[in-house]
Amino acid sequence: MKKRQLYALVLLASVSLLRGELPAELRARGEASVSEGLEWLKTQQNEKGYFGIPDAPAITGLCVMAMSYSDKMRESAEYNKAVDWIISTARPDGGFYVMPTQGRRGGGRATYNTGICMLALHMSGRADARPLVLKARKFVAEGQRAENDSSSYGGFGYDLMDMSDYADMSNTYVAVQAMALTEDAEDFRKGERVDFDKKAAEEFISRMQHRKESNSGTWVMDDDENKGGFTYHVPENESELGAKEKEKLSAYGSMTYAGILSLMYADVDPGDPRIRSAFEWAGLHWTVDENPGVGTQGYFYFLNILAKCMTTANEDALTTPEGEVIHWREEMLGKLIDLQLEDGTWKNEDNSYWEGNPVLVTAYTLTAMQMLLQEE
């Protein structure tokens, strides 16, 4: 993509989008909520500059992203101290990650941590971060699965060093988002530009979608609960899976919106049937009360991706096949305001995917809310 407004999505078939504006009272409440959340977030910074735990640099990266939307925060000592800390964690290979002292799945989660941190540094706009962003782009690009006889071909996993035969939709989304949104940094590279293989990524992403017309996988389901939606990971032996194992590959919200965004980051046209089909699934399963398909699991991660995906359309209302007009931006912003706790934070009572951590969840939420509040 040449410009990172991304696409003005044209949602054909069952879902269409309409323009609208946030009511003034709701906007005021949202801005107050964001301000309170950002002020709380500043208080959670460790004296060394990181947020959360140092073994997970991505948490600090997510906090930097959340603060980057606010001019006041960008000028704060806390913001620049966090950027300085991320810079200090850069590894010789270009990554931002910490290898665990004990073996665990995904090693240091190098793809996830590096993708988040390099995007955060890029958003900071600091010139001293630019060389590290360029090194990180090379590191992430080299992590793309290149084994073209594998079902993981074109995707990204936790850690190339430990799991070269593994890829999933979430890590792929983080990687291609980071590569797409830092692409203009390549203007400063001396020599050949670095990028990910977009066609290979498109192939992998398509293999994560329940759509028989473009996916020949034996696990693909064609019912209303799944058709058009995306799953997280398909094992190599997918043809041998039983009914219960296939059920675990059902479509759900966060991965479906991640799939849509990832296809767009791979330069797939917004009118492509795969994107249209995914939005049809989204229209049939619209809700901001849960992560559709998995309930409370990864709920705030879902809301964060949902905000990114829908604001990409630069529209404010959704019309379902039944003719119901959903002012999704208003509905989502109101929901997030209502979910804010008395201390200014957000937290999921379901601790799946670390969402019991208020620093992580508050960062997710602040980014989503500020995207909703952005004016054209």
Residue partners of 305: CB distance under 8 A and separation at least 6: 173, 254, 257, 258, 261
Look at strands 325-326 and 16-18 and give their pairing.
Answer: unpaired
Question: Which domains are delineated in the chain?
Answer: 16-202+217-373 (1.50.10.20)
Average pLDDT over all residues of the chain:
90
Lowest mean pLDDT among 51-55, 100-104, 121-125, 221-225: 100-104
Give tens-digit pLDDT for 226-273: 999 999 999 887 777 888 888 899 999 999 999 999 999 999 998 999
CA–CA separation, 376 and 369 (whole Å):
15
CA–CA separation, 99 and 300 (whole Å):
27
pLDDT of residue 15: 40
CA–CA separation, 63 and 255 (whole Å):
22
Percentage of residues in the chain having pLDDT higher than 90: 77
Angle at 179 between CA 207 and CA 332, to 5 degrees: 75
Cβ of 196: how many Cβ atoms within 10 Å? Answer: 24
pLDDT of residue 243: 81
pLDDT of residue 376: 61
pLDDT of residue 20: 57
What amino acid occupies position 219? W
CB distance 336 to 32 below 8 Å: no
Give tens-digit pLDDT for 56-90: 999 999 999 999 999 999 999 999 999 999 999 99
102 band by pLDDT with thresholds 50, 70 and 90: low
Joined tokens for residue 266? 């791979």
DSSP 352: G
Give tens-digit pLDDT for 308-352: 998 876 656 676 777 788 889 999 999 999 999 999 999 999 999
Joined tokens for residue 144? 């793309």
pTM: 0.92
